[in-house]
């Protein structure tokens, strides 16, 4: 089934998940597709389609059971599968990601951060220690880490990537603005923050005041 | 023409742009679609299609002129149109974004940051000052700011959003993990960092060691 989950559907499912968490916190037992549609400003037919696709059915008139739908989304997106990762680059972005508690809800477990700045080594961010890059091999072997979140400055991006690949990292979540050169068996997800947001601004009419 | 630019095409165009910047820095005058394809691990037919779509043609055997193609992408994605924005929330993520120089290359001009922490007010991050939230109205009026980048903690997200909307912000780039409740005339782009990355991990076979 996962084969047909496009990136847009996955993105919407995570948004539904976020809304469901809010509802559950407020002890609301049911949610309807028009309620979700209202919050996300999208068509409720789309929402019903997405939810039917992951094999969950609502009840006529009352809608979806919040707890059940949340669990169904978590199972579909494998939130319970632990995905161990390290953050490479303990600058502001690396620290922001280390502090981002939502990672754990999605199954990501940040084992450690790495940096080459002696001032940062040994400090703890959200209970995660910053290690010297030369300890990376030891730590990724010990915890079987295959995912690295890359948040180093642009000029070090390729050099650090080569180092990660040699150490055995297989998946790189790339937050640098560089296109990384990697062997075919390594997967890179280019976060490309600004590219994401451009989608939003390019569509805006030229006569809008920006 | 912009109407047919999907988010995926825009995303790829920004990646081509990044590669072109590297080539230009190295004073390489031409690039071929197989060279781009090799770096991005995507099919070169796709690349030729994207570039043809924005109305640029390569030369037989030598490929695309790096400088010209870069300019064409910049014109298509309106990089030269100045998009004035403020960052609301001067925590690690807000600071990381304020330091992200690539914003300017894409036409984003960060005017100021806002926070309610007295310790942070008055400091400068990458030449951008942190102001108290109660000065927001004055600053967005003075600089005609319509875009806010929201990086406050989860629990303040909705309250600060209401404040931004009342002050006249029209576009919110939402980095919080909350779904924001806004009037129909306000556009929210949910950055949803983890949702983006999940696309990448959900597709991975179950037998992979994660």
Cα separation, B1 vs B56, in Å, equals 13
Q: What does the pLDDT read at residue B8? A: 82
pTM value? 0.83
The string of pLDDT tens digits covering residues B189-201 is 888 777 777 766 7
Give residue A198's Cα distance to chain centre.
Answer: 19
Q: What does the pLDDT read at residue A208? A: 40
Q: Which of B81, B92, B199 sits opposite A99 (nearest CB)?
A: B92
pLDDT at B159 over 90: yes
| Nearest CA distance, A115 vs chain B (angstrom) | 16
Name chain A contacts of B181, Cβ cutoff 8 Å: 39
- Substitution target in B173, B184, B200, B208 with the highest count of A β-carbons within 10 Å is B200
Q: What does the pLDDT read at residue A209? A: 39
Query: DSSP string spanning B160-188?
Result: HHHHHHHHT--EEEE-SSSPP---TTSEE
The string of pLDDT tens digits covering residues A129-170 is 999 999 999 999 999 999 999 999 989 999 999 999 999 999
The predicted model gives B19-45 an average pLDDT of 93
Round the average pLDDT of chain A to a whole number and report it. Answer: 89
Q: What does the pLDDT read at residue B139? A: 97
pLDDT-derived band at B202 (thresholds 50, 70, 90) equals low
Higher pLDDT, B80 or B172: B172
Q: Residues A109, A82: contact at Cβ < 8 Å?
A: yes
**Inter-chain CB pairs, A–B, below 8 Å:** 158
ipTM topping 0.85 = no
Q: Which residues pair with B59 in a beta bridge?
A: B63
Q: Does the distance separating the beta carbons of A102 and B194 come in below 8 Å?
A: yes
pLDDT-derived band at A207 (thresholds 50, 70, 90) equals very low
Q: Which of A97, A173, A202 sits opposite B10 (nearest CB)?
A: A202
List Cβ neighbours of B54 (8 Å cut-off, separation of 6 or more).
B1, B13, B72, B73, B76
The predicted model gives B144-154 an average pLDDT of 94
Name chain A contacts of B199, Cβ cutoff 8 Å: 7, 10-11, 189
Q: Which of A10, A146, A179 sits opposite B209 (nearest CB)?
A: A146
How far from B180 is each of A201, B116, B162, B186, CA to CA, in Å? 19, 20, 9, 11
């Amino acid at each position: 089934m996962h084969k047909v989950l496009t990136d847009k559907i996955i993105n919407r499912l995570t948004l539904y998940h976020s809304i469901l968490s809010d509802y559950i916190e407020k002890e609301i037992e049911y949610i309807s597709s028009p309620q979700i549609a209202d919050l996300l400003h999208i068509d409720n037919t789309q929402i019903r389609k997405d939810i039917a696709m992951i094999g969950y059915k609502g009840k006529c008139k009352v809608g979806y059971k919040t707890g059940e739908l949340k669990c169904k989304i978590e199972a579909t997106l494998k939130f319970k599968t632990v995905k161990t990762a390290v953050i490479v680059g303990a600058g502001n972005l690396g620290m922001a990601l280390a502090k981002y508690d939502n990672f754990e809800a999605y199954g990501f477990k940040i084992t450690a951060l790495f940096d080459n700045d002696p001032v940062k080594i040994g400090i703890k961010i959200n209970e995660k220690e910053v290690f010297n890059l030369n300890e990376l091999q030891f730590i990724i072997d010990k915890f079987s880490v295959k995912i690295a979140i890359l948040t180093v400055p642009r000029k070090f991006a390729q050099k650090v990537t080569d180092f990660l690949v040699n150490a055995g990292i297989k998946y790189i979540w790339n937050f640098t603005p560089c296109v990384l050169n990697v062997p075919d068996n390594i997967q890179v997800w280019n976060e490309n923050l600004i590219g994401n947001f451009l989608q939003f601004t390019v569509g805006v009419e030229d006569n809008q005041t920006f």
